[in-house]
Chains A and B, each alone.
Chain A
């Protein structure tokens, strides 16, 4: 087995035991990235370049990573413990600031922005011994579920079938982890943006409780919804990654002061005695019928339903009690409420981009400051940020806010109430991750309503703030991965890890990466 195939736990153990050096681990990953990733996403790049490669990265910071790996090895040589992530290569969604590196949000308006400080989540991983490989691609400002909206092309592709999207918005993260380009990636989840691409790419994606991980240094989308979290290949690595970054932060007043448990120890407890709920409201989906212009309802596809029921059966065999018919009646309002709340928050957050303080400034002649604002924003933002700004301004305008914004916030209360009542009866809820596996590139891009409804089974967790995890659940007939998903009460990520790890164990060994990905590095050696 090559070093780039190891889990984060295995890498950290081997580095701490001096079986391998952090430098060796890093070089193995860099060599593999060269083989599978292809050209990085660049501003104005061609989306069709190298269609058989992954294209997860925007910026590979190899020299910085080599310095970090050398520092880890020096610590080991001096008899010091670098921490639980000793020598583990990680990638960072390019929506987080990392000091001295380009931090672009996959937007032209930040393409020239070099962050002057580092996000808390990244800083904590680095303090725990992680080696940062670089920044991975995403939908522009995280606005999408496919990565096709990135201003940095070619956008990431799904390693299991490169004609399909990796999902989004943390698509670069999911694609990188699935393609063995580092065992951990840091993503963000505002409506499902960690868990959806995790399901599409056959990896584990965790959205922690809102406030479990600091948002300091995260370029904001929906400030009441955004959650940083890890994408990994195993549930144990997810527990390791969360434990290394969770907790209070004096630089983020919404980072809760709830103690951080030892998630790896909790994970060993399995599911005997846990009550796991199933809700009929998560077995039907809403979709936008282009012909009639109406919103329609239908059951989830049989393969998706079966994956969840198989999961329930496996957990029951390990001693969990399955409780059916948990009502979650406000689930179907998750996306309509999200269309309002997230747009208001996005519009507010995007007003800071004005061509004055940082980022893109128009190079054209301008009459005055107002003209500078307009032209810089017009040229710097892509279509998706513009769409969110306009909707946010409309639904929060004084004459419409009661009809739209306040109503959406009240319905958010009802979505939260669904979870509060459910968790009086069960410990976790088991649901599908997505209505379907990854769609083809170009399949629905441009239809902003259809794109948003891909998140409909996940967004309720963002409204309520509760944590959720998507775990790989085999493959559809098409060969594309499926995911199943667990919700848990506030700050009970330990329950998610127990359920996820038990399901993983019950499912037996699984194919962690596509065959072409495993073979890519050796073919590079043959060619060179």
Chain B
């Protein structure tokens, strides 16, 4: 069986994922993706009624188990400066980033 994740498709995924890989990493990751897909294709062995619902989680959430929605009001974080301290580079309360790619209209 030919490889499902070809080098070209793999490179496209790497671009979408905002990653950069060494050749060694790329070899390993592409091989493991194709191996995992062999396992994933086992799902196709299961005859599936198209009416079978999708389950985004296992446990049902009836109203009796669900918390009430919060009031729709602003609830400021008590210490935003503490959050900003975790940013790699800040200045005057702003997070600093390099040039943002853009096109002049």
Contact = CB atoms under 8 A, between A and B. Distances in A.
Interface of A: 113-114, 116, 209-211, 224, 248, 250, 253-258, 288, 293-295, 330, 332-333, 335-337, 339-340, 347, 351, 354-361, 366-375, 377-378, 381, 383, 386-387, 389-391, 393-395, 404, 406-416, 446-449, 452, 462-466, 490
Given A357-B95, A462-B58, A387 B32 contact: yes
B17 interface: yes
A491 B53 CA distance: 23
B100 A408 contact: no
A248 B70 CA distance: 13
A360 B88 CA distance: 7
Interface string B18-45: 1111000100110011011011111110
B72 interface: no
B50 to A, nearest CB: 9
Contact of A411 (B33, B46, B98): B46
B58 A339 contact: no
A357 B87 contact: yes
Contacts of B39: 288, 295, 335-336, 339, 449, 452
Contacts, number: 195
A104 B55 CA distance: 31
A224 B56 contact: yes
B18 A377 contact: yes
A410 B52 contact: yes
B17 A257 contact: no
B65 interface: yes
Given A390-B29, A416-B58, A358 B18 contact: no
A340 B95 contact: no
A336 B43 contact: yes
B59 A490 contact: yes
Contacts of A391: 33, 36
Given A116-B83, A463-B58, A248 B67 contact: yes
Contact of A295 (B25, B28, B42, B86): B42
11 contacts: A224-B58, A248-B67, A368-B101, A377-B18, A386-B17, A387-B32, A390-B29, A391-B33, A409-B56, A413-B52, A464-B58
Given A288-B39, A336-B40, A411-B43, A393 B59 contact: no
Contact of A393 (B16, B55, B99): B16
B19 A374 contact: yes
B104 interface: no
Contacts of B9: 394
Nearest to B49: A410
Contacts of B65: 211, 256-258
B43 A389 contact: no
Say whether chain B's binding surface is mostly helix, strand, loop, or mixed.
loop
A357 B85 CA distance: 9
Nearest to A293: B38
A293 B38 CA distance: 8
A419 to B, nearest CB: 8
Given A357-B86, A390-B33, A394-B13, A333 B43 contact: yes
A416 B39 CA distance: 20
Given A339-B40, A416-B58, A369 B98 contact: yes
Contact of B13 (A393, A416, A462, A464): A393
A361 B86 contact: no
A465 B57 contact: yes
A211 B88 CA distance: 34
A149 to B, nearest CB: 13
A452 B38 CA distance: 13
Please give me the 7 A-B residue pairs with the lowest Cβ-Cβ distance, nearest first: A465-B58, A465-B59, A409-B54, A361-B88, A358-B86, A378-B20, A464-B58
A211 B104 CA distance: 48
A372 B18 CA distance: 9
Contacts of A386: 17, 19, 21, 25, 29
B54 A410 contact: yes
A357 B14 CA distance: 22
Contacts of A361: 88-89
B35 A288 contact: yes
Nearest to A461: B58
Contacts of B48: 407, 410-411
Contacts of B60: 490
Given A370-B101, A466-B59, A490-B60, 16 more contacts: A113-B86, A116-B86, A250-B67, A257-B67, A293-B35, A295-B39, A333-B42, A356-B87, A366-B98, A369-B99, A374-B18, A389-B17, A394-B13, A407-B48, A408-B40, A412-B55
